[in-house]
């Protein structure tokens, strides 16, 4: 009987710890699967930022010092794993951190990771973790309407 209790305790501890400890570098990111090669998705996001310059992040500070640029670039050395993009909501004064990663040859994961309040870096809040349920839902809806739907449009209409 003691063995049964120990077994149940071990299973319970594993279950609880798996809920607390999420795997991966971005365990809370909201991910979207797009049925396009990663290069096409990256091009669509770059086009969005070119045609809608309001989404380009202005110069930022770090700890209220210096002026810095947030670069859209590959992440991972020597083998890049993600391509990170920063987007900006001017009215809300928020920076969005997103990334893309090839899922297969013809599909890509586009992830919405976090939001930085203001133009001083260090005020990041994680999607699906840092916000109340209602706030998170609002952030996701805004992202889908302003960013994701436009990216999908550019993917579906590359020549328009």
pLDDT of residue 19: 42
pLDDT of residue 76: 81
Rounded to whole angstroms, the Cα distance separating 31 from 118 reads: 24
CA distances from 113 to 2, 64, 72 (A): 45, 23, 14
Q: pLDDT averaged over the chain?
A: 88
In the chain, the N- to C-terminal Cα span, in Å, equals 70
Could you check whether the bond before residue 98 is cis, i.e. omega within 30 degrees of 0? no
pLDDT of residue 16: 39
Model pTM score = 0.83
Judged against a pLDDT cut of 50, whether residue 20 lies above it is answered with no
CATH of domain 27-156: 3.30.530
pLDDT above 90: percentage of residues in the chain: 76
For the chain, the structural domain boundaries read 27-156
* pLDDT-based confidence at residue 15 (cuts at 50, 70, 90): very low
pLDDT of residue 14: 45
Q: What is the pLDDT of residues 59-117, one digit of tens each?
A: 999 988 999 999 999 988 788 889 999 999 999 999 999 999 999 999 999 999 999 99
- The residue among 125, 123, 115 whose CA lies nearest residue 64 is 123
- CA 60-65-71 angle, 5° bins: 30
pLDDT of residue 68: 95
Alpha-carbon 121 to chain mean position: 16
SS3 assignment for the chain? CHHHHHHHHHHHHHHHHHHHCCCCCCCCCEEEEECCCHHHHHHHHHHHHHHCHHHCCCCEEECCEEEECCCCEEECCCCCCEEEEEEEECCCCEEEEEEEEEEECCEEEEEEEEEEECCEECCEEECCCCCCHHHHHHHHHHHHHHHHHHHHHHHHCCCC
pLDDT of residue 132: 96
């Amino acid at each position: 009987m003691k063995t049964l209790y120990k077994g149940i305790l071990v299973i319970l501890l594993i279950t609880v710890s798996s809920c607390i400890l999420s795997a991966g570098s971005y365990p809370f990111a909201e991910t979207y699967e797009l049925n396009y090669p990663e290069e096409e998705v990256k091009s669509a996001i770059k086009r969005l930022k070119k045609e809608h310059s309001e989404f380009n992040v202005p110069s930022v500070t770090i700890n209220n010092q210096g002026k810095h640029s947030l670069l859209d670039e590959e992440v991972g050395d020597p083998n890049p794993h993600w391509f990170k993009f920063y987007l900006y909501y001017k009215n809300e004064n928020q920076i969005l951190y997103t990334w893309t990663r090839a899922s297969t040859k013809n599909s890509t994961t586009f992830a919405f990771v976090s939001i930085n309040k203001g133009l001083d870096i260090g005020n990041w809040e994680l999607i699906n973790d840092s916000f109340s349920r209602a706030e998170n839902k609002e952030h996701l809806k805004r992202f889908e309407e302003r960013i994701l739907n436009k990216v999908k449009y550019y993917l579906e209409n590359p020549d328009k």
